[in-house]
Amino acid sequence: MMLAGMGAALVAAKAPPPEHVKPPRLRPGDIVGLVEPAGFTDDLFDLDVVKETIVAMGLKPKPARHLLERHGYLAGKDEDRAADLNAMFADREVKAVFAVRGGWGCARILPYLDFTTIRANPKLLIGFSDITALHMAFAARAGFTTIHGPNAASSWPRFSWDAFRAIAFDGATPLLTNPQAKEDRLVPLGGRIRTFGSGRASGRLLGGNLTVLTALMGTGWLPDFTGAILFLEDVDEAPYRIDRMLTQLSLAGVLRKLAGLVFGQCTSCGATGPSYGGFTLSQVLEQHLRPLGIPAFQGAAIGHVANQFSLPLGVRAEIDADAGSIRLLEPAVS
C-alpha cells in the first residue's frame, strides 16, 4: 500500500505547478510552527533556545507534535515527520513554518506530504541545508514562495536577522550584498566574490544545497529551471564531489536552461592534505560556470555560515555578477 501511495505521489509531482502565489507576510504576535523534517534535536536546552529565538523575533512558537522524537538519525519516522508538516499547513492559526534544523531526511517524507492541503494554505516555510528538498518540492507542486534562510536553531546574528525581517515581515525588495569583512589586512579576504561570467541577469530564484538538489534529479520533485537564477551552496564536500554534482546538472540539461547562477559558500570544501594535487573548488567552478556564457559568480553569503541571506524561492530577482549582488524585483509576501 505504501508503494502505491508513493507512486501516485510521484506521478502527481510531475504535473505542472499552479500559478505562483505569495504567502502573507509575518506580523508581530503571529504563531509559527516548529518542525523537524530531517535530523533530530533531543536536548531540551537546545529546544528552549530555539523557542526563545522565535520569541525574540516577536513571534509565538508552536512545536510540532513529534518534535522531540527520534528514529535513528531522524526526528521520528517518515510518516510522523510528514504529518507534522501537513498539520502545520492545515492549522489556520499557524502563519509560517520554521525548520528547527537540517541534517538528512526531508526527501524521505515527500511522498507523504499532502500537497492539496499545502497548496490551499500558502504560508512561508523557512530553512536551509536539507530543507532544500522541501523548497524544491514546494516550488514544483505548491506554487508559493518559501524562504531559503537560517533554520530556527541557527545563531541568527544581526546580519541574518535583518535580511530575513526585511523580506518576511516588511515585504521589502532589498539589494543583497555580502557583509564587509572587518580584518586587519590591506586586502580583506572575507566577503570576496569571484566572477565567472560578467553582466546582469534576471529570473526567478531557485536553488539551495547542491548535494540535496542533485539527489532529486530524475525523481519528479524538481521545478522547471528554464530562465531561473540558480543559487547553490554546500558543506564538507571535496572539490571532486562538487565537480561530480555540477557535471550531473550539466548532463541533465539544467545548467544550460539558466539565466544566471550564484554559487554561495562551500564551507569546509577545501582540498585535503598538503600533497593534494587535484583541482581546487575555484578551478572546478571555473570549468563548469565560465563556459555557460551567463552571468555567474562565487562567494555570496548563502549556506552554512552565520551571516547569510534569506532568499525567497520563486520570486523574480536580478543578479549583478560583477558586483556580486542579488536584488529582489518583487516582494516575497503579500
Q: How many CB atoms lie within 10 A of CB 247?
A: 15
**Grid cell of 3 as nine digits:** 508503494
User: Catalytic site residue 129?
Assistant: yes
Three-state secondary structure call for residue 311: strand
Catalytic residue among 36, 66, 135, 233: 233
Task: Report the side by side order of strands in the sheet with 311-313.
Answer: 60-63, 31-35, 94-99, 124-127, 146-148, 311-313
Q: Say which of 148, 160, 304, 325 is annotated catalytic.
A: 304
Q: Tell me, yes or no, if 304 is annotated catalytic.
A: yes
The rounded distance, in Å, linking the Cα atoms of 188 and 331 is 33
* 194 CB burial (10 A radius; 0-12, 13-18, 19+): middle
Name the active-site residue from 36, 66, 129, 288.
129
Q: How far is it, in rounded angstroms, from Cα 238 to Cα 243?
A: 9
Determine the length of the chain: 334
Number of neighbouring beta carbons within 10 Å of residue 300: 25
Residue 92 neighbours by CB distance under 10 Å: 9
Nearest to 209 by CA among 275, 151, 293: 151
Say whether 250 is catalytic: no
Q: What are the residue numbers of the active site? A: 129, 233, 304
